[in-house]
Amino acid sequence: MSVLRRSGPSPLGDSMNVSFEFFPPRSGDMESQLWESIMRLAPFGPDFVSVTYGAGGSTRQPTLATIKRILEETELSPAAHLTCVNASREQVDAVAREFWQAGVRHFVALRGDAPEGIGTAYNAHPDGYRNAAELVAGLKAFADFEITVSAYPEKHPESPDFMTDIDMLKRKVDNGATRAITQFFFDNDTYERYVERVRRAGIYIPIVPGILPVHNFQQVAKFAGLCGASIPDWLATRFEGLDKDPQTRALVAAAVAADQVMDLVERGVQDFHFYTMNRAQLVYAICHLLGLRAPKAGGTVTSIAAA
């Protein structure tokens, strides 16, 4: 597999680490887009790539199939998302066992959203894991998985206050989580204040910023409203009048995300997780703006099977 190369002076030096999130395909066309995206971004040498998991296991087989193909055809390190929505402990443990047998050694452990959608009341399965902290403990009891969890710079929308939210993160860490990836945000001061709160609570695992490139501002704004993330006025102004101008919108989106990451680097952040939405072009442009370079020879990573 090609190795990450940086040519010339990079605004980030040689210390930036990236990871990418993908979701499993629901059709043949979506599968083609997913794999084009994976192979386009693979040359940047991500620490890992994560594959999401639908509520109640609705994408279990597509998630597993995607993970298996990543393991078989690339040298990327995959992380499987796992939730405990609408499932007993026995069912969740069975999924973990199946993923272990397939070669998964890294989980992104999440409680998950209610099946009715973000913003609706969550009710735990009577025989299931009640939250992500319990899920982490269950996974660690089964095997010594690497476990990543979620974090919320503007607090989880269901948490009554930051103390409750950070206490949940601490429980996840105490049960074995070694990394947290944040919900997306656009105000770096908000992230920095959150990390300060987390450190004061005695939590010292990496709090990796989750970066969401704005492919469609209206969709991002709607999703932000559901998950409790704020949209700064300056961001809305940047995308004003570009709804029917996708080319300019993409240029603006790349510049916005690159500026956000470079500012975070100046604040001492080195690790970044990109929510790709299975679209490589914008994320690729952002990584290029940040000084990362894929190898020139061959242009893209080929699969092991094709090598």
Q: Which of 21, 75, 134, 146 is catalytic?
A: 21
Q: In degrees to the nearest 10, what's the CA dihedral of 175, 191, 166, 53?
A: -50
Which of 148, 128, 150 minimizes the C-alpha distance to 138? 128
> How far apart, in Å, do the first and last CA atoms of the chain sit?
10
d(CA 39, CA 302): 7
d(CA 78, CA 50): 6
- Residue 21 annotated as catalytic: yes
d(CA 263, CA 109): 29
- Residues 179-216: b if buried by 16+ CB within 10 A, e if exposed: bbbbbbbbbbebbbebbebbeeeebebebbbbbbbbbe
Helix and strand counts by DSSP (H, E) for the chain:
10, 9
d(CA 237, CA 219): 15
d(CA 201, CA 195): 10
d(CA 74, CA 305): 8
Contact between 96 and 142 under an 8 Å Cβ cutoff? The reply is: yes
**C-alpha gyration radius of the chain:** 19
Phi-psi region of 101 (alpha: psi -120 to 50; beta: other; left: phi over 0): alpha
Burial (Cβ within 10 Å: 0-12, 13-18, ≥19) of residue 12? middle
Enumerate the active-site residues: 21
